[in-house]
Amino acid sequence: MSSNPRPQFKSSSLKRVNEDTRFYVDYEWWNESNIDLKTYLFTRLGIGQDAEVDSGIDEIDMVDPATGEVRRVDGFQYMIQSYFAELPEDFFTQTLFVDAVFCVLLANANQPMSASEIAERVDKPVDMVIRTLGGPTIYQGIRPILEDD
């Protein structure tokens, strides 16, 4: 009999990512990384060349279209959401995969989207979304929500 006890796993670490798993951009990942989100958006994704950028707005009132609830949101995040929401559909299919997913989530106000929904928006197979974003490497703060059942 072995003197080594069996490792204990948290139930969430055993969850598998599937087509119904929802993803979101974790802003804490950006805060902890050595990459500045605003700089990344302006340089890598070219925001600012085509968009009117007023980064001096701290917060704005926004009405949730689903609930009618008014809430305060970060002005920069709202500007980014508006920018990506107005891009043509083919932008998401012609951009690098991870960048496209990142932009789709931001255009959706960072409301979690399922792997199936993301795959449809970026015109890629759902298994590509699952394999790329459901693994141990976190790309651009995109994380799965592994809910306890």
Residue 140 has a pLDDT of: 93
How confident is the model over 24-45, as pLDDT tens digits? Answer: 999 899 989 988 888 888 776 6
Domain that holds residue 140: 17-144
In a domain, 40, yes or no: yes
**Spatial CA neighbour of 148 closest among 8, 5, 14:** 14
In a domain, 70, yes or no: yes
Is the predicted pLDDT of residue 131 greater than 80, yes or no? yes
In a domain, 1, yes or no: no
In a domain, 51, yes or no: yes
**Eight-state DSSP code of residue 26:** -
Alpha-helical runs (H) found in the chain: 27-32, 37-43, 75-85, 89-94, 97-107, 115-122, 126-133
Which has more confidence, 139 or 68? 139
In a domain, 129, yes or no: yes
How confident is the model over 61-90, as pLDDT tens digits? Answer: 777 777 888 878 777 777 878 888 888 878
- Give the separation between CA 15 and CA 108, rounded to whole angstroms: 25
Alpha-carbon torsion (66, 84, 122, 141), positive or negative: negative
Domain tally, the chain:
1
pLDDT cut 70: percent of the chain above it: 79
In a domain, 72, yes or no: yes
In a domain, 4, yes or no: no
In a domain, 111, yes or no: yes
